Structure 1
């Protein structure tokens, strides 16, 4: 397959980004100072004494050295699609003609005035990644995905299927859409907007009756022979109950909070049509370690349920969006 939807979050830090260690850098500066003093015949052997004036001066200078190095690292990351944020990301997107979408328009006449709600970084990053596919017509999978996601600011995901999937007939292209609003099932207006952009023949709503629209003869995006169907996704609801087994030690609540933060990030990353919620990935997310890599969670009992039945993995169908309706994370102290 030509199109590969790369997960940019899995890319490593660029080699241009320097690993920064304050203590190591301070030690280097102090060692260099000692060598210079020795060359001048000046005896100085209190480099391990933090209260020494010269040591304090070097450690003070190291702080600003670290700030500069961090700034250089941030500048290097800002040049990459995977790590750029905010306005830096907007500049990366603008290089390819992609702009951040307005989710909710500003209303300066309101009291108090309402600021605009804009597309978040991850959505913009994904569309910027897909825009290369859109240099074609909507024929390739990635191009259909880009145009669908760009057609309405509330479009969260688009799954594209051709006749080989068994989900549509010869000559048809099926575009299944998920929304960033509510339970993920798109409102009619979202499907209508995407159908207009793709010049779709058929729209399959969640509640409203299926509609056949008049297609044009002057297609700007849709290839001449494609019969496009825009269809709402359905949801597969699941729950998670997790008991962390934590060794006896301080602040288990902090461990639980970090595990929940990482779990929420994993759940959010899987909010796409047909994405499996893996038991092993959940376990990896909640197994928190300290800064030295020592595990703070020895084990975890994970129970995922779908329709009240326990499952090992949550496996949505090709038109389904897995939706987590309840998460409970508790802990037990191991004795």
Structure 2
């Protein structure tokens, strides 16, 4: 299927700017430092130790450009790597500075990071910078309230008022890691569980009722939620999944309020998801569990040209386009 388009936007692509690593090698910031190893860079994160090795695909423009050409992607919305996102205010600002520089060099935009008690203030500060087109938010932040808790409401109020897109992303090590039966499948199914639970709590806690107009992006196709929505409705009806009366009849009535990316989805799953809300192309670059050929997967979904064009370009362009 050929689709006429001017641009293909990958909305889920991670980066650790090389400039940040070389700077941390020279001088630690807020307890973060970096060093080279034979397998790539590693970052020392306060309280958690060193990260996994960071390869050239994550840090260097050349491998990234090669992959984009192969995949048919013309531009990526750059996201920080969650393994190094957690930290205090000084670190978040340092990371944002590096992300802004990387976005400017690549001719694109990035997602910002915020943390702690000043998260709302810092989000507004980041939003004033033209290099940022949204926020990447950990669904299980280690240093503050959970997104569904009332203490998070000031950030949601700002995001709704300013039209700031918020991408909800589970951490590398999430609550589901406590499930011993997952074994080595934490990254296969655990992150989807974490995303599903976090989104469910947002709905049940009334966040979408209190903050209409929020622009929320659910990675990995929304976890398991869209595909098991009626089971959640049943839990709401029987009070097994209940935090208070919702403004709408049932939790699944809110699924159309979200945007969903295509990471890890098959072509039939993408076609199914298109019936819920706007779908965005996502690769999860450079990780192996992402989609190495995401454009092809979308084209094989059987959706008509207009839907394919929307997934590859139009939906993301409308969501992440900054006001003039």
Task: Give the TM-score of the pair, scaled to structure 2.
Answer: 0.27
Instruction: From the two aligned structures, give the one with the greater helix fraction.
Output: 2
Q: Which has the higher strand share?
A: 1
Bigger relative contact order (CA 8 A; separation at least 6): 2
Higher CA-based Rg = 1
